[in-house]
Amino acid sequence: MWKNFLKGILRENPVLVLVLGTCPTLAVTTSVSNAFGMGIAATAVLLGSNVVISAMRRVIPDKVRIPSYIVIIAGFVTIAEMVMHAFVPDLYEALGVFLSLIVVNCIILGRAEMYASKNRVLDSAIDALGMGVGFTLALFAMASIREIFGAGSWMGFEIPVLSDFSIPILVNSPGGFFVFGLLIAIVNAVTKRKTGRDFGCAGCPSAAVCGANDGSLKKAAEKDHGAGAGKGPDDTAEEGGK
Amino acid sequence: MKREGPKSIAVLTGICLVVAVLLAAVNYVTAPIIAKSAQSGAEASLYVVLPNAAGFEEEALTGEIPEAVTGVYRDTGGSGYAVTLSTISSYSASPMTFTLGVSTDGKITGVEMTNYAESKDFGDYPSSYVGQDSTLSGVDLYAGVTYSSQAFKAAVEDAFSVLVELGGVAQGNKTDEQIIEELQPQLLPGALNRAGAPQLKEMTVSDASVRQALQAENDVGYIYVMEESDEIYVIAVSTTGGAVCVDLEGTDVTAQHTDLVQRAMELGDTDAIHEKNKTAAARALPEGAELTPISAKDQFGTVSSIYAVSGAENAAYAMVCTPYGYREPMKLVFVLNSGGEITGFRASGELIQNSEYYSNYTLDQSAYIAGLIGLTKNTASEDITLISGATMTGDGVWAALQDVFLAFDGLTAE
């Protein structure tokens, strides 16, 4: 269970390893408070949608699973939007359109399709929390670097000396890409991943879920076209439990 | 497989219904909070412009309310009013919104911009209004952001008109200079540029009763501020022979001051203007045509000279108009037959001055002119003179064409 939670933080970090949700990552990491707000909102949506989708995994027919997931995710996003608009209007204004765009954040749909639809509710909730925390931490780290060195402040508080020698390009788009690349490189080095090792399915950090290593991916595809809903390849298996 | 269809429909419908119910429930809780916070956000600007206000009560407005005024709020402590305004300048599609604070003695206490979407910064312009009364005598338009500052000033004037109507604030007294400045566009509309500002230059005259003499930069006439029996009069004289005299109340007193008007008519060198325009007019007519300057009463538009034409077929009159285009005045010659039909048109130089537009706009000038030929007062329309992409030039041609028909009516009526 703990392993399930931790994987989203570093080994399968959705932003820095799976490179998902890049658009909001680059857009909102100009300030730490915005990044934190976006992370919390995305985590809440991820948790809600993962739990509901996992609970309904045997009910939702395979044919309509993607529209069903999207409706559930969009529902949670709209709820998050309304709650933020009511209780944290400043953050709501600051996040702007990116809040609504959580609906199309690949991390949410990715976890729904890849994990929640195949695993138990508790595991899906833990997976969502891990991924959400990983997403928030990645945003937080990236925003900290950009705000501290780009604007000379942190969480809106001015940092002496640095505020006089800031590097404004870091809070602009090119700086966003630069810091993003830098963090990906650091995470790669820390997790000792070697470039060129394997770019196929087997090299994917989520291969265990998909079952790429033992050929169950193929079986799953066959079942998708054949048997249909509720009878996934790994219905009860815990992620990484092989 | 066959059974999956209805099940899919049922499940997806069910999910949609549950989500809709959930959203309705959350909306039920959050909507009032959102509405309240939006209202307090709008109210915050009221306290910025009237910081010592005890609280605000919205005034119920009746009658004709200027479009720019979106709300009037009275300080319950009695210190004054806050007015919320929304105005669109012709340069931006997004409305400029701001809140204006006015104390009961009629002075502006503060201005708070709540939305400004122009590309060029407004700078400290709004704060230059603080301390002004309803006459706004101490503020000018902001060079470089003329359209926005014009819209801003007009909105502030609207706010004052509503407040004075309400009886809530004292009205400021306009200076003579302000009154004269306000009379100018009404008296000599032909001298206005496309932004509506009169383009006049100071001139010196020998008459001792003249306090100020102004000549229209596009040669359509003069404005004189003259003194007689300790009273100030503003006299507009058009180069085509029109003259009107008003007092500082704006009342037409031409008939009562015929001597003064006559003196004013003799001050400007209109002959020189007609001589200069004659060359331009002759180019629009066949060689050998003779031109004699004539007058048209009550013509204060963009017509600078009118000539009776002889020795040319289908041409009875030639009128030289100098309306403003994008920036500079154009020189347009319209030739009319005795029936009031346009039989010739010529623009001095290129009608579209490329340097004045962002793009290298080119106009098929001969096709455009062909469209003007044959027009009469009844058949002319703005669509014919419109030049897509060079709207201000097209507007200038349309203004001139209307003035030409108006002048023609004045001629035939004589």
- pLDDT tens digits for range A66-91: 999 999 999 999 999 999 989 988 88
Residues of B in contact with A228 (CB under 8 A): 4
Residue type, position B409, single letter: D
Confidence at residue B59, expressed as pLDDT on a 0 to 100 scale = 87
- Work out the percent of chain B whose per-residue pLDDT is above 90: 23
Assign 3-state DSSP to chain A and report helix, strand, coil percentages, each to 5.
65, 0, 30
Sign of CA dihedral B298, B304, B306, B312: negative
Confidence at residue B351, expressed as pLDDT on a 0 to 100 scale = 67
Confidence at residue A190, expressed as pLDDT on a 0 to 100 scale = 82
In 3-state terms, what secondary structure has residue B239? coil
- pLDDT tens digits for range B315-367: 899 999 999 887 788 889 999 998 889 998 888 776 665 455 555 566 677 78
Of A63, A72, A229, the CB nearest to B15: A72
Closest CA of chain A from B355, distance in Å: 36
Confidence at residue A106, expressed as pLDDT on a 0 to 100 scale = 83
Residues of A in contact with B23 (CB under 8 A): 75, 78-79, 82
**A183/A222: higher pLDDT:** A183
| Residue B318 in tokens | 């030639």
Q: Work out the angle at residue A238's Cα, subtended by the Cα atoms of residues A235 and B1, and round it to the nearest 5 degrees.
A: 15
**Per-residue pLDDT at A225 exceeds 70:** no
Confidence at residue A227, expressed as pLDDT on a 0 to 100 scale = 41
Asked if A131 contacts A8 with a C-beta cutoff of 8 angstroms, the reply is yes
Q: Give B225's strand partners.
A: B212, B234
- pLDDT tens digits for range B123-143: 788 888 988 888 887 777 776
Confidence at residue A234, expressed as pLDDT on a 0 to 100 scale = 38
Asked if A67 contacts A106 with a C-beta cutoff of 8 angstroms, the reply is no
Torsion of CA B170, B171, B177, B178, to 10 degrees: 130
Confidence at residue B238, expressed as pLDDT on a 0 to 100 scale = 92
Sorted by sequence, the CB contacts under 8 Å of residue B171 that are 6+ apart come out as B106, B133, B134, B160, B164
Closest CA of chain B from A71, distance in Å: 7
Residues of B in contact with A86 (CB under 8 A): 29-30, 33-34, 37
DSSP secondary structure, A66-105, as one string: HHHHHHHHHHHHHHHHHHHHHH-HHHHHHHTHHHHGGGG-
Q: How far is CA B130 from the centre of its chain?
A: 24
Of B11, B22, B37, the CB nearest to A68: B11
Report which of A93, A96, A102, A95 is spatially closest to residue A75, judged by C-alpha positions: A102
Of A75, A82, A83, the CB nearest to B19: A75
- pLDDT tens digits for range B156-165: 999 998 988 8
**Per-residue pLDDT at B93 exceeds 90:** no
Least confident of A201-215, B101-115, B363-377: A201-215
| Cα within 13 Å of Cα(A43), Cβ side | 21
Q: How far apart are CA A178 and CA A167, in angstroms?
A: 12
Confidence at residue B313, expressed as pLDDT on a 0 to 100 scale = 86
| Residue A206 in tokens | 């989520």
pLDDT grade, residue A202 (50/70/90)?
low
Least confident of A77-91, B87-101, B153-167, B265-279: B87-101
Q: How far apart are CA B81 and CA B70, in angstroms?
A: 13
**Cβ neighbour number for residue B348 with a 10 Å cutoff:** 16
Of A64, A67, A83, the CB nearest to B26: A83
Is A219 part of the contact surface with chain B (CB cutoff 8 Å)?
no
Q: How far apart are CA B286 and CA B318, in angstroms?
A: 12
**A197/B169: higher pLDDT:** B169
**Per-residue pLDDT at A222 exceeds 70:** no
| Residue B367 in tokens | 């096709």
Q: Give B247's strand partners.
A: B233
- pLDDT tens digits for range A144-193: 999 999 888 888 788 888 888 888 888 888 999 999 999 999 988 887 65
Is B12 part of the contact surface with chain A (CB cutoff 8 Å)?
yes
| Average pLDDT over every residue of A109-138 | 90
Confidence at residue A137, expressed as pLDDT on a 0 to 100 scale = 92
**Per-residue pLDDT at B256 exceeds 70:** yes
**Per-residue pLDDT at A48 exceeds 70:** yes
**Per-residue pLDDT at B209 exceeds 60:** yes
Question: How confident is the prediction for chain B on average, in pLDDT?
Answer: 84
Predicted complex ipTM: 0.71
Asked if B248 contacts B260 with a C-beta cutoff of 8 angstroms, the reply is no
Residue ranges per structural domain of chain A: 2-197
Beta strand extents in B76-217 (DSSP E only) = 80-87, 96-103, 108-115, 200-202, 210-216
Residue type, position B247, single letter: D
| Residue B304 in tokens | 């600078």
Q: Which of A58, A68, A76, A77 to mutate to test the interface with B (most CBs of B within 10 A)?
A: A68
Report phi then psi at B113, rounded to 5.
-75, 130
Of A67, A75, A82, the CB nearest to B12: A67
Burial environment of residue B104 by CB neighbours within 10 A (0 to 12, 13 to 18, 19 or more): middle
| Average pLDDT over every residue of A209-231 | 47
Burial environment of residue A100 by CB neighbours within 10 A (0 to 12, 13 to 18, 19 or more): middle
| Residue B134 in tokens | 């309803």
Distances (CA, A) of B409 to B296, B339, B396: 9, 10, 20
Residue type, position A230, single letter: G
Confidence at residue B159, expressed as pLDDT on a 0 to 100 scale = 92
Nearest CA in chain A to B4: A61
Confidence at residue B135, expressed as pLDDT on a 0 to 100 scale = 83
- pLDDT tens digits for range B366-378: 788 888 888 888 8
CB contact under 8 A, B27 and A67: no
CB contact under 8 A, A89 and B37: yes
Confidence at residue B380, expressed as pLDDT on a 0 to 100 scale = 83
